């Protein structure tokens, strides 16, 4: 799985314009590329909470993540 740690805001007035401090919607949105054995081909084009990342990685590796806040993205598995 490849994903950034958080989204970025484009603020041309900031000294460094692409930050994640401004609390806009784009600061909370990330993308992910998931591939490997047992992962289906296709695109999931709907919002998925970022808390699904840890349990999805755990499920892909064959173990549970009982303390993770989110749920695995089950539809991506074969």
Chunked into runs of 10 residues, the chain (78 residues) has average pLDDT values of 78 69 70 87 86 90 91 88
Domain ranges of the chain: 1-32, 34-78
Buried b (16+ CB within 10 A) or exposed e, 29-66: ebebebeeeeeeeeeeeeebebebbbbbbebbeeeebe
Asked if 11 and 26 count as a contact pair (C-beta separation under 8 A), the reply is no
What is the C-alpha to C-alpha distance for residues 47 and 38, in angstroms, rounded to an integer?
22
The predicted pLDDT at position 48 comes to 85
């Amino acid at each position: 799985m490849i994903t950034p740690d958080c989204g970025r805001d484009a603020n041309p007035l900031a000294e460094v314009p692409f930050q994640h401090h401004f609390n806009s919607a784009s600061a909370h949105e990330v993308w992910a590329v998931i591939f490997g054995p047992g992962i289906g081909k296709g695109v999931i084009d709907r919002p998925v909470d970022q808390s699904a990342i840890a349990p999805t990685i755990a499920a892909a590796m064959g173990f549970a993540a009982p303390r993770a806040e989110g749920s695995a993205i089950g539809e991506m598995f074969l």
